[in-house]
Each structure stands twice: as structure tokens, then as C-alpha cells.
């Protein structure tokens, strides 16, 4: 997921890379909360389109996150790490988490590319 962030945001600092660590394993390795792949996708979207102050409209970011959430649910049927593990993802399961990461990245990239295309279609030609 960090690689996707770098494609869209440019090179990440060590601090930004560390920022992602705690999301792994369903938040802190508990396997009880949101999937880290999904959560980091939200972080990438927020870094790209989030607001910088309360006065800035955050509608685009919220809509994009909602779209990503729905696509993730369509693909995996849950956002929760433990439920994903029960469905066969994880180190001791049929599909390792690296496969989930790859598939989750595909979902995120699809959503970001669609959004980029929609935005370019809205821009008036010079």
C-alpha cells in the first residue's frame, strides 16, 4: 500500500512509512479491527484529497472514501481483519495477507483512476 502512496504522492519520508506500521494485522496485530489494507487505502485517499482545515470542503474526500469502502466490501464482503482471516486470508490460511494486499491495492487503484478520469472530464478544455 505504501508503494501506491508513493505513486500518487511522491517519495515518502521515513516518518510517513512508520505511520503505516500500526495499521497492520487489523490494527496493532489484534486481528479484531479494520483491515490494515483498507485503512491504509483510506489514508492514501485522505492524503490526496483531504482537507487541511475545517474551512475546506471535504466532500470529494468523503465521497471517494465511501466509494473505496463499497468496492472493498463488494470484493471481500467485509472490512474486518478477523473476518477476512476466517474467509481464508492470512499467514496460516489459503491466501497469505500479501495476496489480500495486492487485491486491495487493485481496488484502491481502480477507484483512484476512475476519480482521476472523472476529474479530467470535468475540466474545461483550454
**Grid cell in block for residue 13:** 519520508
Q: Are 29 and 35 in contact (CB under 8 A)?
A: no
Nearest to 25 by CA among 75, 97, 78, 77: 97
What is the share, in percent, of the chain residues with pLDDT greater than 70? 96
Distance CA 104, CA 39 (A): 10
Q: What residue spans define the domains of the chain?
A: 2-122
DSSP state of 1: -
pLDDT of residue 125: 65
pLDDT (average), residues 7-30: 84
Task: Please write the tens of the pLDDT for every residue from 74-101.
Answer: 999 999 999 999 999 988 888 998 899 9
Beta-strand (E) ranges in 1-126?
Answer: none
Distance CA 41, CA 3 (A): 11
pTM of the model: 0.86
Instruction: Convert 88-117 to b/e letters by CB count within 10 Å (16 or more is b).
Output: ebbeeeeeebeebbebbbebbeebbeebee
Residue at grid coordinates 474467509: 87
Residue at grid coordinates 502512496: 5
Amino acid at each position: 500500500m505504501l508503494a501506491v502512496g508513493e505513486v500518487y504522492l511522491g517519495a515518502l519520508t521515513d516518518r510517513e512509512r512508520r505511520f503505516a506500521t500500526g495499521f497492520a494485522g487489523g490494527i496493532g496485530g489484534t486481528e479484531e479491527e479494520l483491515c490494515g489494507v483498507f485503512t491504509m487505502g483510506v489514508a492514501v485517499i485522505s492524503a490526496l484529497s483531504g482537507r487541511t482545515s475545517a474551512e475546506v470542503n471535504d466532500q470529494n474526500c468523503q465521497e471517494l472514501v465511501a466509494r473505496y469502502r463499497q468496492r472493498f466490501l463488494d470484493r471481500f464482503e467485509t472490512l474486518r481483519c478477523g473476518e477476512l482471516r476466517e474467509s481464508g486470508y492470512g499467514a496460516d490460511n489459503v491466501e497469505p495477507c500479501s495476496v489480500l494486499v495486492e487485491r486491495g491495492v487493485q481496488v484502491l487503484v481502480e477507484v483512484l483512476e476512475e476519480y482521476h478520469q472523472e476529474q479530467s472530464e470535468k475540466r474545461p478544455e483550454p
